[in-house]
Structures are given as structure tokens and as C-alpha cells.
Amino acid sequence: MKLAAGDRKVMELVYSQHYRFVCKWIGKTGGNEEDAADVCQESMIVLYEKAKNGDFELTCKLSTYLFAIARNLWHKKLQSRPKGFVAMEDDEDLNIEGNYEDDIKAHHERELHYAQLDKALAQLGEPCSSLLKSFYFKNSSMQQLATDFGYTNADNAKTQKYKCLARLKKIFYNTQVK
Amino acid sequence: MGNDKNIWELAEAYLDNKLAEQERAAVEERRLSDSVFAAEFQDCINMLNAMKGSGEHKQYKQALKEVHEQVVNVTDEELLPKTIRLWRNNWRTAAIAASIAILTSLTTFWFAQHNNKKIASQYSLLRRDLETYKRSQNKIIGDIKRQASTPELEARYTGTGFALTNDGYLVSSYHVIAGADSVYIQNKDGEYYKADMVAFNEATDVVILKVEHEGFTFNKQDIPYTIAKNKKKLGSRVFTLGFPQDEIVYNEGYISAKNGYGGDSTQYRLDIPAGPGQSGAPVADASGNIIGIITGKESESEGTTYAVASEAILELLSTLPKENSIRVPATNRLSRMSRENQIEKLEYYTCAIKVYKK
């Protein structure tokens, strides 16, 4: 994915501009730099997942889209903060560009989904947990895994991987149903 | 066990597009004919997709963090404005480049797209199952009850409610739904949705309900009003929207006393016409913020109505356990609108409540 890893330059460019915008705006509405960074990165992730999903049609400038997402995320954050926070009254234009509710919702659901997966992985125990993590999260090859985890060959490691997956599946679906 | 390994291998090859045409066809056929296999196979695919998706997600997050560090460092060093201007000028080009990048990614990652959709559908499937489960459970309860009491009579009450969050939490009067077998809301478009009780306070007569329908929202936009934290002043102009009849009805008036019936300090006394069915209706101030909930009226004098002050809503919300906490709307987008436009917006978030009792 070009925006993700292949083309770091594009990502840097988009991000730096986006960050500047959001920083200014969030500063005005009572947030700090940390908030801005959070919101910025989260909105980039929304964009990334959306692009990956394939149903992304740019109906406006990329920056506009990103900013709308960031703004919405920030509002949600403000709303979830404890009472005593001063409500803002002057953002009637919030709806003009749309606030991409669906995208944000999908994003939150996805985050939850992945968080559950992480939980399941943690419950899985070793060496399964590490094995799966290095294969799926770090893109290690089967051969690499075999040497790292002390299997005689790649095929053995593969068999082990499938066993681990089967166990993970059990844990994962059990926690989801509660 | 050997079989177990097999299905994973198959699923992985299937996803990576590494199956020969014949093998692929065989898998598809087996999925159609063998439902046990199909379900298990789908689970495997979902699992693999989740792992892959999660991995990519993590890597992207990491990359973002690194980029952030880089960007912040550049800003910190106060790079000359020239550079910034250069970036600014190139922004459009960058945006185009990025769009192209996204397009490219679509072709490269059409698989991933495939994946995520399936994750989503798996989600809804799971929920639907739970829903039907719940429904059948309700039915069972209903049946038992029906046997015990007289079956034919089914009394019906109506009230009004208004949204607390766009995704289905709403507020009404407790007495409207007290003792109900089932509660439905009817939204602006006349559609019925079942609602469940989340919390109530009998003393203040407030109830919080939740529409259980998957994907339900009151409107496309978030709630445009806030819930007042403090009592408004005597004489404040207020208005209300409610359902004393099938159609929504608007009324306006003012706060005529700071305390309600019998000096109840959790209430207001209002001078505003209200009829049966308007219990639970929102009372809003001039800028459209919710200040109370209609709860009752004086039977002797026409036009004297009592409303629970909105603090009672917040108080009830604060009693909810942390994991179920509800985010209260924090922004008002109605304050500068004309009354007509305020009403137009508010209509989306006000609903009739239909209560079924035996």
C-alpha cells in the first residue's frame, strides 16, 4: 500500500499538512498537541482502512475529507470527556461537508474487533502467540519462523501454525459470544 | 487433527489465490453441499482475514507514529517558512499523488477489501443470531404469561421520547413505560423499533431506553442539542414537541415556577398546554437545549404542566456502570436557527413511544 509503507514520502506529506491544520483547530477548541496527534493519526487510519476497503470515492479534496474525519473524532472525544467541559456553541457548519458517520462507526467497530483479537492472542499462551504474531504482524517467512522457534523445517512450523490458529479461533469466537 | 490442518491450509491457499482452478471449484462446491464444512471454512477464512487485517493495521499505525515523530521534529526545529511554503504549494500535487496511491492500492489490495467486508458480515451475522435468540426468548416469556393471565385484553399507552445519542439511547418518563410488556418507538418516518429499558428512576420519573435495532440512528447527524446541567431562570421561554395524537404537536410557554408539583425541586412548573401522550416530551429553551421532560399536569387548571428538570437525566446517567456509560451530546447546533428550523431538526430526534401491556 503506497500510503501505508511503500511510499513513505506521500504519507509524510499528507500527514504533515493534515497535522498542522488539526493542531491549529484543536488548539482553538481546547485541546493540546497530544490530542491533535491522536486525532490526526486516527483519521489517517480511517482513511487507510477505507482505501483498503475499496469503497472509497473521493468526492472532495483529500485534505477536506481528512479534516472532516478528524473534526468528527474530536467531537466524539469531547463528548466522552467528563462533565464540566464547556460546550462549544459555534460550529453550525459542522454538517456542511458531511461528517462521515458511517466511516467513523466502521472504524470504531474495527478497532474493537482487533482489540478482541489481541485479547484472544494474549490468552493463547506461548509459543503459539509469538509464532502467530511474527508471521502475521511482522511478516516473517515460514523458514524464518522454523529457525526462530526451533522447528526442524518450514513444514513443521507450518503445521504448528495451523494448530495455533485452530486454538486461537476457539478462544476468539468464544469471547465474542460472551 | 490432520483434517484440522487441512482445512486451514485450504483456507489459506484459497485466500492467497493459490488454488488451482479445479481445487477452487471443488472447494466452492463443497461449501454449497456441505454446510458443516462451509461454516467451518468460513470461520477459518474470517480468522485468517482478521489476523492479516490486524497485522496491516498495526504496521500502519507504527508507520504513522514514526512519521509523526519526523513531522514534529521538523516543526520543532522551526524549519524556515520557505520549506513550509514549498509544502503548501505542493499540497495539491501531493493530494493527487495520494489519490493515485489509493487507486493503486485498490488493485493491489482488492483482496484485503474482500477480507474486511467479510469481517463486517461476520459481525452482523453474529448479532442477528443473538437477536433472534432474544426474540424467541421474549416469545417464550410472553407465552407463559399469556397462559397465566387473561390473554385477550391488550391495553396500549403512548408517550413521547427524545434522543440522548444518535445511535438509539433515548429518554422518556418512567410512568409511561412502567409495567410494560414491550415498548416500541415510532420515528419521524413512522417506522417502529423495539426499545429496551436501560435505566430508570421512579422518584424523578425518568427512564432511559435503547433502540435495539442493528444500525439504528435517529438521523444522519449527531444530536444537535445539549442537556442543561442547571436549572433555568423563572420566566424562561420554553417549547415542547410531543405526540398527544399521531402527529407531532408543537407548544410553547414559559417556566412559571422554579419548583414543581408540591414544591418538588427536581421539577419545573410550566405554563404550557400539554395533553395525554406528551409525557416524556422534551422541553427546550430558546436555543434548543433540553431543560426538562414533560411529566404531568394539573388536572383542575388547563395549561399548568410539570416537567422534570434535565439534571435528573444527567443524574440517572451518572449511575450507569462505566462500561455502559453514555456520551451526552456536547454541542448545540440549533442556537442561531429560527424556531421553525429548530423544530424541523428536533423532529428527527423526537419519537412517539408505544407501550403494550396485557
The closest CB to that of B327, out of A8, A44, A80, belongs to A80
The closest CB to that of B102, out of A5, A8, A51, belongs to A51
Q: Which of A51-55, A60-64, B235-239, B330-334 has the lowest mean pLDDT?
A: A51-55
| pLDDT in the model for residue A137 | 79
Span A118-158, pLDDT tens digits: 888 877 777 788 888 888 877 777 777 777 777 777 777 77
Distance of CA A115 to the CA centre of its chain: 10
Angle between helices B2-15 and A154-177 (to 10 degrees): 90
Span B171-194, pLDDT tens digits: 999 888 888 888 889 888 888 888
Residues sharing a CB contact under 8 Å with residue B228, sequence separation 6 or more, in sequence order: B285, B289, B290, B291, B309, B310, B311
H/E stretch holding A161 = helix A154-177
For chain B, the straight-line distance linking the first and the last C-alpha, in angstroms and rounded, comes to 55
The answer to whether B63 contacts chain A (CB < 8 Å) is yes
A residues 57-116 closer than 8 Å to B (CB): 58, 61-63, 75-76, 78-80, 83, 85, 87-89, 91-92, 94-95, 99, 101, 106, 109-110, 113-114
pLDDT band at B87 (very low <50, low <70, confident <90, very high): very low
Is the pLDDT assigned to residue B222 strictly greater than 80?
yes
* Nearest-neighbour CA in chain B from A89: distance (Å): 6
DSSP output for B116-156: HHHHHHHHHHHHHHHHHHHHHHHHHHHHHHHHHS-SS--EE
| pLDDT in the model for residue B77 | 45
In the chain, the amino acid numbered A61 is K
Q: CATH topology for A8-99? A: Rna Polymerase Sigma Factor; Chain: A (1.10.1740)
In chain A, residues with a C-beta closer than 8 Å to the C-beta of B101 are 1-3, 7, 10
ipTM of predicted assembly, 2 dp: 0.75
Residue B356 β-bridge partners: B156, B182
Average pLDDT of the residues of chain B: 75
H/E stretch holding B199 = strand B192-201
**What is the spatial distance between Cα A29 and Cα A151, in angstroms, rounded to a whole number?**
56
Return the exposure string of B323-345: e unless at least 16 CB atoms fall within 10 Å of the residue's CB, then b.
eeebbbbbbbbbbebeeeebbeb
**What is the spatial distance between Cα B317 and Cα B331, in angstroms, rounded to a whole number?**
18
| pLDDT in the model for residue A58 | 61
Mean pLDDT of A58-85: 68
Calculate what percentage of chain B has a pLDDT beyond 90: 23
Where do the structural domains in chain A lie, given as residue ranges?
8-99, 125-177
Q: Which of A25-29, A128-132, B95-99, B237-241 has the lowest mean pLDDT?
A: B95-99
Burial of residue A107 (number of CB atoms within 10 Å: 0-12, 13-18, 19+): buried
Higher pLDDT, A178 or B16: B16
Decide: B119 and B53 in contact? Cβ < 8 Å.
Answer: yes
The answer to whether the CB atoms of A10 and B329 lie below 8 A apart is no
